[in-house]
Amino acid sequence: MGEWRYLWELYCPDLSRDALDSCDWLQRVSTQWLVDDISPVEFSDCLGQAYSDNADALHRKAHGQFFTPPGIARFMAGWSSQFSPGARVIDPGAGVGILLAALAEHIAQEANCSEWHATAYETAAALRPALEITLGYVRHWLNRRNIHFTFEVKPEDFILSNTSLLRPTPMFGAA
């Protein structure tokens, strides 16, 4: 666990470490796979694989925890339009953050966005420390490329939290 605490201090010094300290599965995972300047997608994918190896398969299935493969994440990120500085992105079911990691790689390649913000929603308490450290790593990786990245992780269901925005408004008042 000392390895993860060191990485948390490096990538997430502005976040509370409480969730990390109580994350049993992450305490069993080594950081040996980390190499200098690993891509954000590789970082996220390794964390997703580690979670899958340490979590009950029936639990993952019951909660729809099927992580996006790296190739698909990068393909999807490639579909995004160009971002202007100050862009805001929402990931309604972020998991360990691979889609945002792929988007970070895409933005770094496009070299047209110098700053952006992501809001990631994740209801699974066991995944949030991995998501936060992934996004902290993304911030670190982008910073080395002169791209300012901020993020927030919301421990809530995106749809339930935004029902008033998603519900159609009656044209002539309440029926």
- Return the pLDDT at 35: 73
| Residue 173 included in any domain | no
Residue 50 maps to a domain: yes
Over residues 52-71, the pLDDT tens digits come to 887 777 766 666 667 899 99
Predicted local confidence at residue 52, as pLDDT: 85
Question: In this predicted structure, what is the pLDDT of residue 132?
Answer: 96
The whole-angstrom separation of Cα 44 and Cα 139 is: 13
Residues 6+ apart with CB under 8 A from 64: none
Q: Is residue 171 part of a domain?
A: no
Task: Assess if residue 175 is contained within a domain.
Answer: no
Among 44, 17, 11, which residue's Cα sits nearest to residue 144? 11
Structural domain includes residue 74: yes
Instruction: Identify the pLDDT of residue 60.
Output: 65
**Range(s) of the domain holding residue 123:** 2-165
- pLDDT score at 99: 97
Q: Is the pLDDT of residue 48 over 80?
A: yes
pTM above 0.85, yes or no: yes
* CA nearest neighbour of 141 among 172, 108, 117: 108
C-alpha distance from residue 123 to each of 1, 12, 16, 128, 141 (Å): 23, 20, 17, 8, 26
101 close to 134: Cβ distance less than 8 angstroms:
yes
| Percentage of the chain exceeding pLDDT 70 | 89
Residue 48 lies in a domain: yes
Residue 144 and residue 11: Cα distance in Å, rounded?
Answer: 12
DSSP label at residue 34: -
- Average pLDDT of the residues in 35-39: 82
**Better-predicted residue by pLDDT, 153 or 81:** 153
pLDDT the model gives residue 2: 61
Q: What is the pLDDT of residue 81?
A: 80
In a domain, 170, yes or no: no
CA 55 to CA 25: how far, in whole Å? 7
For 129-167, what is each residue's pLDDT tens digit? 999 999 999 999 999 999 999 999 999 988 888 887 766
User: How confident is the prediction for the chain on average, in pLDDT?
Assistant: 87
Number of domains comprising the chain: 1
169 has a pLDDT exceeding 70: no
Cα 59 to Cα 54, 63, 64, 99, 148, distances in angstroms: 11, 6, 9, 22, 36
Instruction: Kindly state the average pLDDT of the residues 38-42.
Output: 95
Predicted pLDDT of residue 29? 83
